[in-house]
Amino acid sequence: MHPAISVIFFTVLSGAGYGFMAVLGLGVAMPEGPLAAFVISGIAGVLAVAGLLASTFHLGHPERALLAFSQWRTSWLSREGVLAVVTLVLFAIYVFIWMATGERYFFLGLLITIAATATVFATSMIYAQLKTVPHWHMRQTPLCYLLFAAASGVLLAAGLAPDGMIFTMPGSLLAMMELLIAWAVKVLWWQNAKKTTLAASGSTVETATGLGEIGKVRLLESPHSGESYLTKEMVHVIGRKHADKLRMIALVLGCVIPVLICLAVFLANTGSMWLLLAFGFLIAGLFAERWLFFAEAKHTVSLYY
């Protein structure tokens, strides 16, 4: 599949934004005061909204984006849009009360946590539901999205917490555990993805053309004399060497460096602001991870090309 930059920004940034909202909804201690509440909630809102806005650049007709909300009964894309708006509205009410009174109501926060989690899940299901892309059609796909959103949210919250604590646990330690779990699941996903090829799912040139009964089918020439939407969006080839390098870059930037920073903060009991640097490296690593997520995926239509 073609790795569209807009969709990569959307899945990474919105995942981090909703992950942070989910953590804030649980009532994690944050700096006090209206200004602090505005800035902290603004970070979560900007990440989520920036991701959603980036996704509109991938639409053929961005002006029709509102029509997507009407298909929530059958479309995970529509459900994701509806859930995103619901989460943002609830979060806006939560922030307004927080700024005005200094109170953070538990039940409203819990609703935000549930809604934010559901939004990330819906985003993942846009891809996980596609049987035509075996690379994505795995149970671990939603789990990877949820774990990365959680790790992003915890790491960001730990960096902003006044005492560096997430409830009664050092935020650096919790963030390190979240990172290790998320990337361990991602490594397992990569291993399973190597097995979920088109051929393994039963899709071959013979089944695609319906000529399998005659014998072995081979392509004589391309179906098109020039590029089309299908060749641009559904067919993308990446060399194995380049994929391996990008996996290593994703692991180093998104896992090794952030984990080492978390470990240093925990052992030295130093300022938690260093965790914000770890968050920056995590996002960079997730950009590489998400680029591979799209670039290595093969749609069944690619069998014709």
Out of 3.30.310, 1.20.1630, 3.10.20, 1.10.3470, select the CATH number for domain 5-304. 1.20.1630
Do 266 and 176 contact (CB within 8 A), yes or no? yes
Do 175 and 158 contact (CB within 8 A), yes or no? yes
Which three-class secondary structure state does DSSP give residue 73? coil
pLDDT-based confidence at 157, cuts 50/70/90? Answer: very high
Q: CA 254, CA 247: separation in Å to the nearest integer?
A: 10
For residue 226, the model assigns a pLDDT of 61
Amino acid identity for residue 23 in this structure = V
pLDDT at 229 over 70: no
Which secondary structure element, helix H or strand E, spans residue 169, and what is its range?
Answer: strand 169-170
217 dihedral zone (left: phi>0; alpha: psi -120 to 50; beta): beta
**Class of residue 93 by CB neighbours under 10 A (exposed 0-12, middle 13-18, buried 19+):** middle
Q: What does the pLDDT look like over 176-201, one tens digit per residue?
A: 999 999 999 999 999 988 877 655 55
Structure tokens at 22: 């989910």
pLDDT at 259 over 60: yes
pLDDT at 33 over 60: yes
Residues 6+ apart with CB under 8 A from 53: none
Residue with more model confidence, 87 or 222: 87
Identify the top-confidence range among 81-85, 212-216, 259-263.
259-263
Q: What does the pLDDT look like over 47-104, one tens digit per residue?
A: 999 877 776 665 666 556 666 677 777 888 889 989 999 999 999 999 999 999 999 9
Q: CA 296, CA 280: separation in Å to the nearest integer?
A: 25
Buried b (16+ CB within 10 A) or exposed e, 13-52: bbbbbbbbbbbbbbebbbeeeeeebeebbeebbebbebbb
Amino acid identity for residue 263 in this structure = L
pTM of the full structure? 0.88
Do 154 and 282 contact (CB within 8 A), yes or no? no
Q: CA 192, CA 134: separation in Å to the nearest integer?
A: 10
For residue 52, the model assigns a pLDDT of 77
Do 90 and 112 contact (CB within 8 A), yes or no? yes
Q: What does the pLDDT look like over 9-31, one tens digit per residue?
A: 889 999 999 999 999 999 999 99
